[in-house]
Structure 1
Amino acid sequence: MESAHGRRGAWGVVAILLLTGVHLVRGGTEQLTAPGPPRPVAAEAPAPAAPALRARTALPAAAPLSVAIPAIGVDAPLARVGLDADGWIEAPPPEHPGRAGWFTGAVTPGEPGTAVVVGHVDTPTGPAVFHALGALTRGRTVEIHRADGRTAVFTVHGVELVPKDDFPADRVYASTGAPELRVITCGGPYTRAGGYTGNVVVSARLTALR
């Protein structure tokens, strides 16, 4: 496990890169012949807010093993991902399209702070783990199964499509002190030269522990 100082240091690098327009996740540069991934609803009616758990009920650090999003049929193992030599957040290898990644530069899901899970929207061979992420809606849940045997259940409170060249890093990764989760993939319009032009960002807060 990295020290808190190490996590903060890595995360500061990511925030700076994102603010200067570097893409969050490398990849997404192959155009599929199948229909593209769904995009978030442009104007969504608010759902009743699920009560967030207090920060003092948060979990200690424990490695996340898998992520489940029942509403869109996701049940995927989680690999550890960090920053590559060029300062990009790594994504799981495209030869494993059903695998997602937990960014080790942030907290583990369930700890106080903002945890980050990333994954491909597609690969040259077809749709990948987060192909349907843009169809998620407020009030749905994201479950993170952890190495300590606990499951952290997060309730979605926001789904948005943001431009990669003007990524709102300060807002997306802001910490309230309570356990939060961001699930991110590529999205938006596609160009063969540059890949996807945006990121789908799902924001969720911890609402239950099992």
Structure 2
Amino acid sequence: MNRAARTVVALVLLFWGLTVLSNGQASGPPPQPGAAQALGTSSGLAPVPTAPPLAAAVPVGVVIPELQVDAPLMGLPLDEDGRLATPPDSERNLAGWYQAGASPGAVGTAILAGHVDTATGPAVFYGLGSLAKGNTVRVPRTDGITAVFTVDAVEVYPADAFPDDKVYGPSSTPQLRLITCGGGFDKKTQRYLGNVVVFAHLTGRA
């Protein structure tokens, strides 16, 4: 795995787990994926072929119909410590794209990251763990094309056993990963114990 991918790992595993509050009231914990959504398990769905790759273009949003997510995307650079920056905590409906990595729809593994919650309530990727195989993720781009991805798996990993190569490894086809915090919450440290990762591949364009 290259250095750029490792810097992404360093960031994602350090996402702060912010207390889930909404108007001063505690909200329920974010959903976590079940065993049936793991890679290698049968979904009973016919596989959806990978669509031809698109040329590289900057993504401007992420739409997940099943979660009623329709959010803008910002580019996420590396900070002075070599870690990927995060979207600002003040923006609940904002996700980020690792702009030094693959463009969504182009060949390679594109990475979208977002907060699960903020101090004021659930954030853009709060419901990520409830996605299921066969769901779709749409990524509008500056070239006017929307890259359409089909979910292949949803998994949760503890911070001390995050599978770097599995999640961030290179690909000869257009792949997408959506990442947020999950895996339980430590109230003492105010951090989540791991990450929820959605695996998806390009299946169309709009």
TM-score (norm 2): 0.88
RMSD across aligned positions (CA): 1.8
Alignment of 1:1-210 (within 5 A): 12-15=3-6, 18=9, 22-24=10-12, 26-32=14-20, 33-44=26-37, 45-46=42-43, 47-53=45-51, 57-192=52-187, 193=189, 195-210=191-206
Cα distance change on mapping 1:190 and 1:165 into 2, 3 Å: same
**Could you tell me which amino acid in structure 2 is paired with residue 68 of structure 1?**
V
Q: 1:28 touches 1:122 (CA, 8 Å); kept in 2?
A: no
How far, CA to CA, are the matches of 1:113 and 1:75 in structure 2? 24
Map Cα deviations across residues 114-142 of structure 1 (whole Å, 9 max, x no partner): 10000000001100000000000000000
* Structure-2 change in CA distance of 1:27 and 1:148 (3 Å): same
The separation in 1 between residues aligned to 2:15 and 2:177, in whole angstroms, is: 19
Q: 1:69 to 1:114 in 2, by over 3 A?
A: same
CA contact (8 A) 1:82 1:103 kept: yes
User: Offset at 1:175?
Assistant: 2.7
- Give 1:25 deviation, angstroms: 5.3
Q: Tell me by how many angstroms 1:83 deviates.
A: 1.9
CA distance in structure 2 between the aligned counterparts of 1:112 and 1:14, rounded to whole angstroms? 15
Structure 1: where are the runs of 5+ without partners?
1-7
Deviations along 1:137-159, whole A, 9 cap, x unmatched? Answer: 00000000000000100000010
Contact 1:62/1:146, CA 8 A, preserved across alignment: yes
Instruction: Give TM-score scaled by structure 1 length.
Output: 0.86
Is the alpha carbon distance of 1:16 and 1:130 closer, same or farther for their aligned partners in structure 2, counting shifts above 3 Å?
closer
Deviations 1:8-29 (A, max 9, x none): 9xx52442673xxx45154333
Contact 1:14 1:88 in 2 (8 A): no
Cα 1:16–1:40 shift into 2, 3 Å: same
Alpha-carbon spacing, 1:122–1:75, altered in 2? closer, same or farther (3 Å): same
| Secondary structure, aligned partner of 2:102 | coil
- 1:164 deviates by 1.6
Residue 197 of structure 2 aligns to a residue whose secondary structure is strand
Structure 2 unaligned blocks of 5 or more: 21-25
State how far apart, in whole Å, the 2-side matches of 1:204 and 1:197 are.
Answer: 23
Secondary structure at 1:207's aligned position in 2? strand
Deviation of 1:92 (Å): 0.8
- Percent identity between matched residues is 43
Report runs of 4+ in structure 1 exceeding 6 Å deviation: none
